[in-house]
């Protein structure tokens, strides 16, 4: 790497820090991509001259708005809503909405920035965006969630459209919330514009496999990683952090592919079941009863619940962090490597800290970044948009086959790009460079806009 290129990269990063103070997650996401781009800039001087990276690091539009609503007791609450429309070079903005108390502008920008490259890797014509609110749906009644969603959409609708910006769900936003949001959008616009939101119910424009897509996709990506190494899920012990949508369906697909998931978690702690997680019981506890994960251990004699602690202390051969950002740190990575873990596959967005990635890489653990491994959700959202546009509906089998093809193609692109740039098996660099090049070419083709 030439000195001038490294200086350019460092200057770009310093400018991002200066222009976006205090947004640590966004800084982390940018740095992770920049770390991979020095070799690209050395080959493509035009990206430096046209300030292509700087343009991609600056969102096209950032919307922040007030969301007032009233709870069942008549108390008024004021939340804050966000939508960061980051990059539309490849298509309409596409990315989820997150409802969680931790949501702030920096979190939304980190997620939106990741989404640009994730969406590019799918090969589908979709740009990158993200949104959400600091509203917490936990413990709220359906009526309260409905009133919040209606207030949220009353402002957001003016920024959306099937050719402009197409949100989906994320943490705290499932089928219930998407239904309320879509109903309000339809009411305000007087249009049954199915393609404006994805993750809809199957009876009103939704797509088969959309619910399962992120978890299934991570498992398919892991399978492709293993096959390159002459390996498979057969007989593997697997841990999956989280117990939400991504985790549940990652567990389901891992079991179908021959692995055994022995542990999963929520914010209260984790459960270990040596016989393998009973998926139907897990769904009952988390999706129907919306209870703590300890409720699983209360009903299964082979399971034990550990309050707090780290799920990564559980010995495994494959780890799938699927809860939230920065959940797997350097100490946890060292524990995984020490137990003989051979694969870490990110099911969530940036769940592994930079220090943890270095530990895993030094220990020879194969690592799959989220922008590649968890792209199944947005890929299937794009398939939902495709079906909405053609007024069509595909079977579960056809949709799952398309998802597997997309995930295998993403792995192949990352793997081949890493080899082309002289770092075989570095899927982080492969994902960053492949995604960046596709977006950068489109940015240049559209002129200085």
Which residues are marked as active site?
130
Q: What would the two tokens of residue 66 be?
A: 């007030």
For 287-326, give one letter per residue: b (16+ CB within 10 A) or e: eeeeebbbbbbeebeebebbeeebbbbbbbbbbbbbbbbb
Distance CA 373, CA 215 (A): 9
Angle at 105 between CA 102 and CA 110, to 5 degrees: 90
Other residues' Cβ atoms within 10 Å of the Cβ of residue 51: 15
Residue closest to 371 by CA, chosen among 9, 116, 37, 167: 116
> Residue 152 phi/psi, 5° resolution?
-60, -45
Which runs of E-coded beta strand occur in 253-330?
260-266, 269-273, 303-307, 318-320
What is the DSSP annotation of 310-372? Answer: -GGGS--SEEE--SSTT-B-HHHHHHHHHTT--EEE--SSS-B-HHHHHHHHHTT-EEE-HHH
d(CA 104, CA 106): 6
Contact present, 26 and 110 (Cβ < 8 Å): yes
DSSP state of 159: G
Q: What are phi and psi of 65, to 5 degrees?
A: -150, 160
Count Cα atoms within 13 angstroms, Cβ side, for 75: 4
Q: How many CB atoms lie within 10 A of CB 78?
A: 9
Using CA atoms, how far apart are residues 232 and 258, in angstroms rounded to an integer?
8
Distance, C-alpha 386 to centroid of its chain: 20
């Amino acid at each position: 790497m030439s000195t001038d290129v490294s200086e350019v990269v460092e200057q770009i990063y310093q400018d991002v820090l200066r222009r976006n103070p205090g947004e640590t997650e966004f800084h982390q996401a940018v740095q992770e991509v920049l770390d991979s781009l020095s070799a690209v800039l050395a080959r493509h001087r035009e990206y430096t001259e046209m300030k292509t990276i700087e343009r991609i690091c600056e969102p096209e539009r950032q919307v922040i708005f007030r969301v007032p609503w009233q709870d069942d007791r008549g108390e008024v609450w004021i939340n804050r809503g966000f939508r960061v429309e980051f990059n539309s070079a490849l298509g309409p903005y596409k990315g989820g909405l997150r409802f969680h108390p931790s949501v702030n502008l920096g979190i939304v920008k980190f997620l939106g920035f990741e989404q640009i490259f994730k969406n590019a890797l799918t090969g589908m014509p979709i740009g990158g965006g993200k949104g959400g609110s600091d509203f917490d749906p936990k413990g709220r009644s359906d009526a309260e969630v409905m009133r919040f969603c209606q207030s949220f959409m009353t402002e957001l609708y003016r920024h959306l459209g099937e050719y402009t910006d197409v949100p989906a769900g994320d943490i705290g936003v499932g089928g219930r919330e998407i239904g309320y949001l879509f109903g309000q959008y339809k009411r305000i616009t007087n249009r049954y514009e199915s393609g404006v939101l994805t993750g809809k119910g199957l009876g009103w424009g939704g797509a088969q496999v959309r619910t399962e897509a992120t978890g299934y996709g991570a498992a398919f990506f892991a399978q492709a990683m293993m096959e390159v190494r002459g390996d498979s899920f057969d007989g593997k012990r697997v841990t999956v952090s989280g117990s939400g949508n991504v985790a549940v369906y990652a567990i389901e697909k891992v079991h179908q592919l021959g692995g055994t998931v022995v542990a999963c978690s929520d914010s209260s702690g984790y459960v270990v079941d040596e016989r393998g997680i009973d998926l139907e019981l897990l769904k009952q506890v988390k999706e129907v009863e919306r209870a703590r994960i300890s409720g699983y251990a209360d009903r299964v004699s082979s399971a034990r619940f550990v309050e707090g602690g780290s799920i990564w202390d559980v010995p495994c051969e494959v780890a799938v962090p699927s809860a939230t950002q920065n959940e797997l740190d350097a100490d946890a990575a060292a524990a995984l490597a020490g137990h003989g873990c051979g694969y870490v596959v990110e099911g969530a967005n940036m769940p592994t800290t930079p220090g943890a990635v270095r530990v895993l890489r030094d220990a020879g653990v194969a690592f799959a970044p989220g922008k590649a491994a968890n792209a199944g959700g947005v890929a299937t959202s794009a398939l939902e948009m495709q079906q909405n546009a053609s007024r069509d509906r595909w079977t579960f089998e056809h949709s799952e086959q398309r998802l597997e093809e997309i995930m295998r193609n993403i792995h192949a692109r990352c793997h081949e790009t890493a080899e082309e740039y002289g770092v075989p098996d570095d899927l982080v660099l492969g994902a960053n460079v492949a995604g960046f090049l596709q977006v950068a070419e489109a940015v240049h083709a559209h002129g200085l806009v």
